Amino acid sequence: MRRLLQSSAAIIAIGLIVAGCSSSAKKKDPFAGIGSPYYAKSGPLPKGGGRYHVGKAYEVAGVSFTPREQPNYDKTGVASWYGPQFHRRMTSNGEWFDMNELTAAHATLPLPSYAKVTNLANGRNVVVRINDRGPFVGTRIIDMSRKSAEVLGFKPQGKAQVRVQYIGPAPLNDQGQHLAAMNRELRNGTPLRQMMAAANGEISGGSGLQIAAATPSFEPSPVYQGAQPSIASATNDYQSPEYFVQVGSFADPYNAQRAREELENSGPVQVQELMGSGGPLYRVRIGPIVNEGQAQIALRQAVDLGHPDARLIMANAAL
């Protein structure tokens, strides 16, 4: 849909079109559909396929916005919705906007991420995947897809007073199952900070993640089968790992989860909970890796993905 700052006219058009959703006299927006690639192939839109993105500070119509990590984001304000004008167009993080999915646009939260949105007028709520930037009209704080607005019950009105609560980073290439699991956990009454771990456990069969944990815990990623150079041994007589790429340690478990998703194409990624002097830490590492050449490839990939402090360590030093 709206690739941020690609076209100032396109960004301003976002606000104009959203404003039309709640106007009885809808005017045709002269900028509609300009400035963002359109998915012209037949069939359903691909899901996922974007990138993790926070971005630099920017300004629209004289208003400044500063995207950043906001693990405690919890605000009330006006929600609007957008649909046909941007359907099948690219979003700000490179996904395709589908007005029939539970997605939303936010001016400053990380992309893609999850947020719980509650309609304060009727109590309805939903977990949405935030994968776009906007809205840029007045005091509006979130722009919902048409489907999300229908679920919350404000599509006919065009806007509603809502509460938006950040949950954490969303998986990059979710095909819809993880978002569905998040909404099942919402309906089950799972606490917000435990919802991600519960959904992860549901997707993986529920074998390793405890819903009652005080903070989300993470299971090791499945064996790597991506398109990058192989990190894990392909032989059946593999006995002992030799190397790990130590990516970093995070105080916020959701930052660790985001790093894990960023690195999933570099090899098997593990997140371990450790107890530090100031509380729990979440260590992210790639491995086990069976030879130094493959380990160096994984290290370069981690650095290229924005982890300059990543380092290579021997397996016996990784415990």
Q: Delimit the CATH 3.30.70.1070 region(s) of the chain.
A: 218-317
| Distance of alpha carbon 137 from alpha carbon 23, whole angstroms | 13
The pLDDT, as a whole number, for residue 204 is: 57
- Kindly report the pTM of this predicted structure: 0.58
Residue with tokens 């002992």: 240
The pLDDT, as a whole number, for residue 35 is: 62
Query: In 3D, which of 28, 27, 19 has the Cα closest to residue 138?
Result: 19
Residue with tokens 């990058």: 228
| Distance of alpha carbon 112 from alpha carbon 167, whole angstroms | 11
Query: In 3D, which of 156, 171, 222, 168 has the Cα closest to residue 193?
Result: 168
Residues 6+ apart with CB under 8 A from 205: none
The pLDDT, as a whole number, for residue 283 is: 86
| Distance of alpha carbon 50 from alpha carbon 171, whole angstroms | 10
The pLDDT, as a whole number, for residue 123 is: 94
Q: Delimit the CATH 2.40.40.10 region(s) of the chain.
A: 8-175
The pLDDT, as a whole number, for residue 3 is: 41
CB environment 193-216: b (16+ within 10 A), e (fewer): bbbbbbbbbbbeeeeebebeeeeb
Single-letter amino acid, residue 295: A
**Mapping DSSP to helix (H, G, I), strand (E, B) and coil, where does residue 19 land?**
helix
Tell the CATH topology of 218-317.
Answer: Alpha-Beta Plaits (3.30.70)
The CATH homologous superfamily for domain 8-175 is RlpA-like domain (2.40.40.10)
Decide if 2 contacts 14 (C-beta within 8 A): yes
| Distance of alpha carbon 257 from alpha carbon 193, whole angstroms | 13
Show pLDDT as tens, one digit a residue, over the chain (319 residues): 444 333 333 443 444 344 334 333 333 333 334 468 889 898 888 888 889 989 899 988 888 999 999 999 999 999 999 988 899 999 999 999 999 999 999 999 999 999 999 999 999 999 999 999 999 888 899 999 999 999 999 999 999 999 999 999 999 889 999 999 999 999 989 998 889 888 888 765 433 332 222 233 333 333 333 333 333 333 344 344 578 888 988 888 878 888 888 887 777 888 888 877 777 888 888 888 877 777 888 888 888 888 888 888 876 654 4
